[in-house]
Structure 1
Amino acid sequence: MKRQVDTTTYLMLFFGMVLFGSATPLSKLVTPHFPVFIAGSLRVLLAFLVLLPFIKLTRLRNYKGRDRWLLLGIALFGVLGFTALMLYGMKLVTGVTGSIVMSGTPAVTAAFSILFFKDALTWKKLVALLLAISGVLVLQWKGDPSGGTRPWLGVILIFAAVCCEAGYTLMGKALTKNFPPEEIAGLSALIAVGLFIPFASWQVPKLDLAKVSIRDWLALTAYGLVTMGLGSVLWYKGLARVEGTIAASFMGVMPVSALLLSYLLLGEKFRWLHMAGFALVFCGVLLMISVHRDMARKMK
């Protein structure tokens, strides 16, 4: 019986990361026919519906002033900022390029933690950050031959989204000391819906429903329900059952998932330049996994 529980937990962590990784290629499928803020608002609303059962009304009064500001920060930067920048960026680059840039999230999070929270700078963190930067630069070497309009601008926007995601992680880390992560994700999604509405209303005239196919609606539904909603539930449920060293080992699944699904869902052409960039960034991910393992061991 114990073995079955362990297997279930590992599957939760694995598929949670797979679903998080699928967000990058799915965002590429969503952008052609949905205006960015309309797609973003629907994504967050769908995710909120999945996370709603994890919100306890009786616990809301426990969120004090600082907690509420952190929730607002997560909603503003980690949800609204991340989603909008990601969608605008993915309009300009290929899914593979977007996946590789997003793979640098652990290294950027570590850099933010060092800059703003005075975390110790270790050689592993420094090398991971340098590898992430090198991987992105490789994509721009002689231009990314896989196409995309203004790819350099798309890379900048997606990197800005990575910075927002890093902010989400660090602000969320401060809140999870007192509140469940699923509840934090649900409440921040609810707040973000309100933040999205004014921008989405402005873009309503740009939405041409006649051009939106069933495939587009399915992609948008998956982008909200599956990647942000179900992905969060699986990851956080699994995270609560294992040690940090085990959870850290699954971080490497997300960039691999994003890359492979970009080839499968988007039908993008394989190029060795992509592999070179991905290899550099993924080595950085492996170093950050090692850092998380070391931290988890020290906390025992």
Structure 2
Amino acid sequence: MHVYFILILVAFIWGLNPPVMKIGLIYIPPMPYSAVRLFAALAVGLLIFPRLCKWVPLRSQDKKTLFIASLGFFFFHLFFTFGLQLTTAGNAALILGCLPVSIAIINHFHRFDSIKPGVIKGIFLSMLGVVLMVAGTGKVVSFSGDHIEGAILVLAAQISYGYFTVFSRPLSATYSVYQITTYVLVISTGLFGVVSLPSILAADWQTIPWTGWASAFYSGIFPLCLANCLWIWGTAKVGSATASLYFNLSPVFTIAAGYLILGETFGWMQFCGAVIIIIGLYLTKGNTKNR
């Protein structure tokens, strides 16, 4: 399949995730909910992925790269779980929308990918589109008072995901995306399980209805397991900087899903923001690095 279609599919899966998570978080506290998502993703990965590829023994020189990628994935979930509770949805959307900038900086600092002028234009337009979409939703944006701590945590989560994206890419030259995803899930789920253990033990699991479980399992199997596997594959094909622009396409699907499923608003400002994001993606198509 064409790499751009796959990256759009990833953005679509991630875009549907927030409305689904809202349903599950009504019944399950954030930390146990995230733990269930990760355990569900790991279970599917261990069950299916080893059957889909030839397992290559992990080379000693790749262990550091894999560990950094896995830590990035772990810290993203840890920081985002706490950060979102302390700041506004508007703050979180704007900060996550800066992921392409963080990835460009990480790439430059570690000398992985060179960033072409067309990609820089795409990054600018993508961020502008996210700003318009957040403004159009009417969500509060505030970096004062208690919100600053949450904003810092969300920023740390965004940078962590940038490290996961950048450092998982060189591994794809030697290992299958299925093997990389499995390794990352094993390490990050183990770490998150240790950190969230008190919350897991304190949760009242018997009172959770099937809708809460369905939300957590969907969010773990599809956005966490499948989408991140495809994300690693996509970054290997077009480069992490270009792929990161498709990350900002997910709010378009989130707002559309919120409008259709939850009855949330959808106005001209959000429409213009979506168009600008798509224009930014189009400008980068001739500036990818296919590997």
Q: TM-score range by the shorter chain?
A: 0.7 to 0.9
CA distance in 2, matches of 1:236, 1:70: 14
The two structures, once aligned, show a CA RMSD in angstroms of 4.3
> 3-state SS of the aligned residue for 2:288?
helix
Give the drift of 1:168: 0.8
**1:42–1:224 CA contact under 8 A, matched in 2:** yes
Matching of residues 1-300 of structure 1 within 5 Å: 14-52=8-46, 53-55=48-50, 59-61=55-57, 63-78=58-73, 80-92=74-86, 98-99=92-93, 101-117=95-111, 119-120=113-114, 122-129=116-123, 144-145=139-140, 153-209=149-205, 212-232=208-228, 244=238, 251=246, 253-270=249-266, 275=270, 279=273, 283=276, 286-287=279-280, 290-291=283-284, 293-296=286-289
When residues 97 and 169 of structure 1 are mapped into structure 2, their CA distance, relative to the original with a 3 A threshold, is: same
CA distance in 2, matches of 1:268, 1:146: 18
Give the drift of 1:68: 1.7
Give the drift of 1:192: 1.4
With 66-75 and 209-218 compared, the bigger mean Cα shift is at 209-218
When residues 16 and 131 of structure 1 are mapped into structure 2, their CA distance, relative to the original with a 3 A threshold, is: closer
When residues 266 and 112 of structure 1 are mapped into structure 2, their CA distance, relative to the original with a 3 A threshold, is: farther
When residues 96 and 144 of structure 1 are mapped into structure 2, their CA distance, relative to the original with a 3 A threshold, is: closer
Give the drift of 1:173: 0.8
- Aligned amino acid, residue 290 of structure 1: L
**Cα shift readout 1:163-182 (whole Å, capped 9, x = no counterpart):** 11111111011111111112
- Aligned amino acid, residue 66 of structure 1: Q
With 81-90 and 168-177 compared, the bigger mean Cα shift is at 81-90
- The aligned length equals 282
- Aligned amino acid, residue 39 of structure 1: Y
**1:101–1:136 CA contact under 8 A, matched in 2:** no
Give the drift of 1:219: 1.3
Give the drift of 1:234: 5.6
> 3-state SS of the aligned residue for 1:91?
helix
**1:146–1:269 CA contact under 8 A, matched in 2:** no
> 3-state SS of the aligned residue for 1:34?
coil
Give the drift of 1:64: 1.8
Q: Provide the identity percentage.
A: 19
- Aligned amino acid, residue 111 of structure 2: F
Length-normalised TM-score, structure 2? 0.74
When residues 285 and 122 of structure 1 are mapped into structure 2, their CA distance, relative to the original with a 3 A threshold, is: farther
CA distance in 1, matches of 2:9, 2:164: 21
When residues 250 and 127 of structure 1 are mapped into structure 2, their CA distance, relative to the original with a 3 A threshold, is: closer
**Cα shift readout 1:95-152 (whole Å, capped 9, x = no counterpart):** 6764554343333312321233275455445555555666777759xx94499x9555
**1:41–1:197 CA contact under 8 A, matched in 2:** yes
**Cα shift readout 1:229-268 (whole Å, capped 9, x = no counterpart):** 233456677x59x9749x9699364332233224444544
The equivalent of 1:3 in structure 2 is none
